[in-house]
Chains A and B, each alone.
Chain A
Amino acid sequence: KIKKTEKDEL
């Protein structure tokens, strides 16, 4: 699962 903190893209 992708953690919110990993959302470094725009």
Chain B
Amino acid sequence: MNVFRLAGDISHLLAIIVLVIKIWKTRSCAGISGRSQILFALVYTTRYLDLFTNFISAYNSAMKIFFIVASYATIFLMYSKFRATYDHNHDTFRIEFLIVPVSGLALLVNHDFTPLEILWTFSIYLESVAILPQLFMVSKTGEAETITSHYLFALGSYRTLYLFNWIYRYYAEGFYDLIAIIAGLVQSVLYCDFFYLYITKVLKGKRLSLPA
């Protein structure tokens, strides 16, 4: 565990907590893409199946369980408890356009052709693009609530911090995983435009709105 990895994990944890608290406190999930949340639940479910086969540490297991539980709790809040506030008219990104190619790629490019390994690879690839429905929704409505942009910033920062973690681990331990690195790069690149808007607008106290 190095400082980049720890900062990445904390950022990831904060993102998920911010989202749940935002929905709970405002009693509304307006502006949040349910489709991205479904993809994230699928990401955690397929990646953390090793909870049953492989124990790494109490920290590792606790975080995995928290991510899985929080992702399903978010889906429950969006599609059940606060369903009336869900902005489905603007949440129209076709997730099968992500799931189908990602499934094919996971079957073709993986470290080992075994069920758990393929599901892990699928989750890494899917995570890299899972935010697209949310970013699509923001671009469609042309704006995001400030709390939603904090959520997106924390979620995007997490994988970017992991990139530094992987650079560190490559030099310190000789450890590298090309699948995770390439997917992490793609994931971070997708956030670039948002990061720019966040830094130039939200951090200066303005609402995140896109130029018309």
Interface residues of A (CB under 8 A from B): 1-2, 4-10
Query: Does the CB pair A7–B9 fall under 8 Å?
Result: no
* A9 CB to nearest chain B CB (Å): 7
A6 cross-chain contacts in B, Cβ below 8 A: 175
Further pairs besides A1-B111, A5-B54, A9-B165: 14, Cβ < 8 Å: A2-B177, A4-B50, A4-B112, A4-B116, A4-B117, A6-B175, A7-B50, A7-B56, A7-B120, A8-B57, A9-B5, A9-B180, A10-B12, A10-B64
Main secondary structure of the interface of A (DSSP, over half): loop
- In the complex, A5→B165 CA distance in Å? 18
In chain B, positions 188-207 with a C-beta closer than 8 Å to chain A are none
* A5 CB to nearest chain B CB (Å): 6
- In the complex, A2→B174 CA distance in Å? 12
Query: Does the CB pair A2–B5 fall under 8 Å?
Result: no
